[in-house]
């Protein structure tokens, strides 16, 4: 502690001074509440005394007590007004403290963002992104090569292609033979028999198809 602080006290920041004033205002409000409660108790006591004096016919004492009651009620009203004013001042101080806290927080956040922006290396980020994209492409190419190698070993693609060729050949042969057998048939029979043959292809099989064609030739 230097000589100035020893003589005049430690120098306080604006936030500390605001907090000190707010505590003083709150203390003053509590004191006003205590005094107001005492006056309200005194008011009730005076009302009872006035009633008792009036019953006893002591009109002089009753008037004096009535004046005292009026003054007491005025002081109670003043205490309420002073407390309201102190609350308004305390609220204003609290608003100032909140604004100061917000400004301090914004200042800290701004400093942090500025530091992060300075430490951010955009060329390095771009280089990392390009390397990631290149490695990802390499991974895709290797996966494709592995898939092709597995297909070559298992022969799945060749088997599927051969199966398609066999099915196409059988369908072509059936279609050609059916057209040749239906050349000389009447038009109505052609259509009816073609429908029946088509149904036979779906449900019957090869023997049923040959029987129908033989019947068509004999007819």
Sort 40 into a burial class: Cβ within 10 Å, 0-12 / 13-18 / 19+.
middle
- Integer Cα distance of 132 and 219 in angstroms: 76
pTM of the predicted protein model? 0.44
User: If you ran DSSP here, which 8-state letter would residue 29 be given?
Assistant: H
Q: Given this model, what pLDDT does residue 37 score?
A: 92
Q: pLDDT (tens digit, 9 = 90+) per residue, 24-59?
A: 888 888 999 999 999 999 989 988 888 888 888 888
Tokens at residue 140, please? 């895709």
Q: pLDDT (tens digit, 9 = 90+) per residue, 156-195?
A: 555 566 666 665 676 666 655 545 554 554 544 445 555 5
Question: Which residue did the predictor score with more confidence, 206 or 13?
Answer: 13
Q: Given this model, what pLDDT does residue 41 score?
A: 92
Return the half-sphere exposure (C-beta side, CA atoms, 13 A cut-off) of residue 16.
4
Sort 203 into a burial class: Cβ within 10 Å, 0-12 / 13-18 / 19+.
exposed
Q: pLDDT (tens digit, 9 = 90+) per residue, 102-112?
A: 888 888 888 88
């Amino acid at each position: 502690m230097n000589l100035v602080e020893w003589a005049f006290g430690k120098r306080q920041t604006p936030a500390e001074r605001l907090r000190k004033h707010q505590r003083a205002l709150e203390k003053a409000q509590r004191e006003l509440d205590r005094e107001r409660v005492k006056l309200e108790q005194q008011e009730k006591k005076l009302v009872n005394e006035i009633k008792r004096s009036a019953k006893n016919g002591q009109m002089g004492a009753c008037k004096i007590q009535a004046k005292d009651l009026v003054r007491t009620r005025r002081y109670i009203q003043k205490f309420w007004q002073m407390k309201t004013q102190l609350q308004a001042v305390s609220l204003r101080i609290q608003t100032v403290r909140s604004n100061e806290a917000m400004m301090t927080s914004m200042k800290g956040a701004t400093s942090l963002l500025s530091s992060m922006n300075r430490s951010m290396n955009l060329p390095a980020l771009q280089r990392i992104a390009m390397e990631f994209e290149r490695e990802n492409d390499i991974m895709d190419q290797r996966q494709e090569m592995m898939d092709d190698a597995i297909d070559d070993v298992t022969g799945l693609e060749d088997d599927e292609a051969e199966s398609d060729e066999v099915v196409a050949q059988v369908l072509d042969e059936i279609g050609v033979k059916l057209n040749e057998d239906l050349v000389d048939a009447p038009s109505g029979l052609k259509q009816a028999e073609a429908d029946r043959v088509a149904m036979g292809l779906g449900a019957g099989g090869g023997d049923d198809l040959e029987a129908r064609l033989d019947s068509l030739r004999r007819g």
